[in-house]
Amino acid sequence: MNTMSSRKLHHTIDMLLGLAERFAVLAERYPKIYLGYFKSIMVSVEKEERPMKKGMTQPDLILFLLRQGSNLTKIDLMIHHKIATPTARIAELRQRGHDILATWKTCPVDGSQYVEYSLNEKVAA
């Protein structure tokens, strides 16, 4: 994918995510009216992102998600992104020199603890 089409694709995804965010806020107040719109936009986002993710290695996919500002958990990577050993892939990224932060969090529901991964903002900029 060349730089121009990549930029256009990122712009399209950003616009769709902005629209999805607006519908998510409206869906919270009026779910019967706006929840369907939100879901259909998120399906469109997934379709647009698929070519970007196709052919990526698992560490590259994790780095892609982190660079988009995502905070990732082991469970999220395993379930939503089909990465069987996320901690090993994070370790590979760290060996390649990426500053990935691991922050311990506590679940407000059951009190269990988990790690949330993020990219150090100073390095990502």
Q: What is the DSSP string of 35-99?
A: HHHHHHHHHHHHHHHHHHHTT--HHHHHHHHHHTT--EEHHHHHHHH--S-HHHHHHHHHHTT--
In which residue ranges of the chain is pLDDT below 50? Answer: 1-4, 123-125
Reading phi first (left if > 0) and then psi (alpha if -120 to 50, else beta), residue 82 is in left
| Contact criterion met (CB below 8 Å) for 72 and 83 | no
pTM for this entry = 0.56
pLDDT of residue 1: 46
| Contact criterion met (CB below 8 Å) for 77 and 83 | yes
pLDDT of residue 47: 74
